[in-house]
A and B are shown apart, each in its own frame.
Chain A
Amino acid sequence: MITAQQLHKAFKTKTGTVNAVDGVDFVAEDGRITGLLGPNGAGKTTTLRMLYTLMKPDRGQVLVDGIDASQDPAAVRRVLGVLPDARGVYKRLTARENIRYFGELHGLSKAQIVERTRVLSEQLDMGEILDRQTEGFSQGQRTKTAIARALVHDPRNVILDEPTNGLDVMTTRAMREFLFKLRDDGRCVIFSSHIMQEVAALCDRIVIIAKGRVVAAGSADELRDRFNTSNLEDAFVSAIGSDEGLLA
């Protein structure tokens, strides 16, 4: 379970201070897929970076399985599987070696790594690409490698930053199945997206973020009821107050 309490994060730029995240609050339960939905530049990636301890919030608290991220970031990273926005894989290593490297960094034994690689490659359908060097991989193959690498230690909590970005329809569908599988295993899954249909199809709970704030949260049905619209897109537009950044 991941809890974000009143997260604030500001960046200094040449033109002044930008409040990228300005009071984000939500709870992501185990066995649920929580979607962070928001237009480009809304602060989704910065929020996620604070969740996986890459950034320290200026104010507020992150709790992962009850562990305070600012107190013990290493312990938080141990129970998290992260697919960051930057998902570079090592080009000269094979997919299997990429996965093994992260398995070793998570302190897994050789046998555990072999077993987890087998399971993940089956779930992500990586059979053919597993022993190829990742140089020249397609976007989808790279994403699969990065996800397998992120989940090698079988984490209870999974954070994915725009996992379907740049994937074709078939791969996106497979990815969706994979996320459902993670949820049905009882994991806490958080993913971010700016694509409405995707969030609607996947998420048990939707957190809409705009300009660094949570403007609405709930299930798809709750959001439709609350904004009194028949489709989610209209609910989203009324929640963020404009249709800016919606066209991806």
Chain B
Amino acid sequence: MNNLRWMWCVVRKELLDIGRDRRTLLMALLLSPLLTPLLLMGVNFMAEKRVKTEMDRVLDVPVIGAEHAPNLIAHLATMGINAVDAPADLEAAIGAQQVDVALEIPESFGEDWAAGRPATIEVISDSTRRNAETPTRRVRAAISAYGQQVGALRLLARGIDPSVVQPVAVGTRDMASEEAKRGLLLSFMLPYLLILSSFIGGAYLILDATAGERERQSLEPLLATPASRGAIVSGKIAAACVIGMAALLLTLLAFKGSAHIGGGSSRMLDVSFVAMAKMLLVLLPMLLVGTSLLTLLAATAKSMKEAQSHMTWLLLLPMIPSIVLMVNPLKTELWQFAVPFLAQNQLLLKVIRAETIDPAIWAVYLGASLALVAALWGLAVWRYGQEKLAVSG
């Protein structure tokens, strides 16, 4: 009982302390809620706009040997693809990104065409350039549509039903739910941003209250009071979690707000209150892991500077599962929910896609992450018990 009282007392003091530091508090609380929705909406807006303009705008495509296939050129023109004269050095122009995609029609085209042999057309582009992707796809689609159309006409001319050469018709039934479709873009960035802000959400407070307290020489008097080391550590961690939770809640509310203001594509940021509650439940253990890890690191560091230098690699940690998943998408399996960062990523995806989460998954997730928290907490308390920590100078 006494331990709880001490802890509560430390929590109040740390919150009062950071509350006096207005600017830092505002940065900790408002930065992520303001920046994250803007970032997501901006990226989304840009992506949508690009696809739209690339699909609709009239493409100017340099064509070498346009005179060999006038009908094809006329067909392309009806689909908004204009043939223009090719620059002298086409390769250099593509290299300099002046040209996205070009066509080369060889001299033999007319001859092959007339003889009914496959006539060759070359589509020239740089496949590693992402902004050339859409134009190239458009040109390819237009040419192959033209090819199919002419092929069908040729069969008809010979008295054959064109469907004869289509023994299989492939249809697609997309089982993705509406939420999942809407959340496709969200699923790339939102988990990373949320995991990052929960992982380091309490960082400022905990660094200041651990390494900072030691550097300012107020730790020795504090440890000379009867309060137990465990209660002091827990109080500091709890205070950092309060700040981190507040920042997360504000971030999620900001998503909701911007979804209503923005309209259109930002609608996909709309997160229901139930989903928000689930996300907070997923992120709370992450917050605890982050702050207890930082407590341990900061208590082991010799100075505030050294403690802050840990931030560099800590910022990279939450990125790892996102990168791994990008390269090597995983099927959901139970063990994944015991791996920090990966678990949060998968769970947040489930919440965004409005899938139901199995009680077994919750059990594995909460059990594993709370065990990790307990281990880190134990190490931090052990560190607080060492003589070296208390003696600052």
Contact = CB atoms under 8 A, between A and B. Distances in A.
Interface of A: 49, 52-56, 74-75, 77-78, 80, 82-93, 97, 101-102, 104-107, 133, 146, 149-150
Given A54-B391, A105-B6, A86 B223 contact: no
A84 B220 contact: yes
Interface in B20-39: 20-21
Given A74-B228, A77-B226, A93 B17 contact: yes
A83 B387 CA distance: 17
Interface stretch (B98-106, B159-167, B198-206, B211-219): B211-219
B221 A87 contact: yes
8 residue pairs, one from A and one from B, having the closest CB atoms: A88-B218, A88-B217, A86-B217, A92-B20, A86-B220, A105-B225, A82-B224, A88-B216
B391 A49 contact: yes
B225 A77 contact: yes
Taking each of B6, B224, B393, which has the highest tally of chain A beta carbons within 10 Å of its own beta carbon?
B224
A80 B221 CA distance: 12
A105 B227 contact: yes
B50 interface: no
A91 to B, nearest CB: 7
A89 B391 contact: no
12 contacts: A52-B224, A55-B391, A74-B228, A77-B226, A88-B217, A93-B13, A93-B20, A97-B13, A102-B225, A105-B6, A107-B226, A150-B224
**In the complex, which range does the number of interface residues on chain B fall in?**
20 to 34
Taking each of B213, B391, B392, B393, which has the highest tally of chain A beta carbons within 10 Å of its own beta carbon?
B391
A90 B221 CA distance: 11
Contact of B13 (A56, A82, A101, A146): A101
A84 B222 CA distance: 10
Interface in B208-245: 213, 216-228
B9 A150 contact: no
Contacts of A74: 226, 228
Given A74-B228, A106-B226, A107-B226, A149 B221 contact: yes
Taking each of B5, B13, B213, B226, which has the highest tally of chain A beta carbons within 10 Å of its own beta carbon?
B226
Contacts of A54: 220, 223-224, 387, 390-391
Given A104-B9, A105-B6, A82 B221 contact: yes
Contact of B16 (A89, A93, A150): A93
Given A75-B226, A83-B221, A92-B21, 12 more contacts: A52-B224, A55-B390, A56-B387, A77-B226, A84-B224, A86-B218, A86-B221, A90-B13, A93-B16, A105-B10, A106-B225, A107-B5
B2 interface: yes
Nearest to A161: B220
A207 to B, nearest CB: 21
Nearest to A102: B225
B221 A150 contact: yes
A84 B13 CA distance: 21
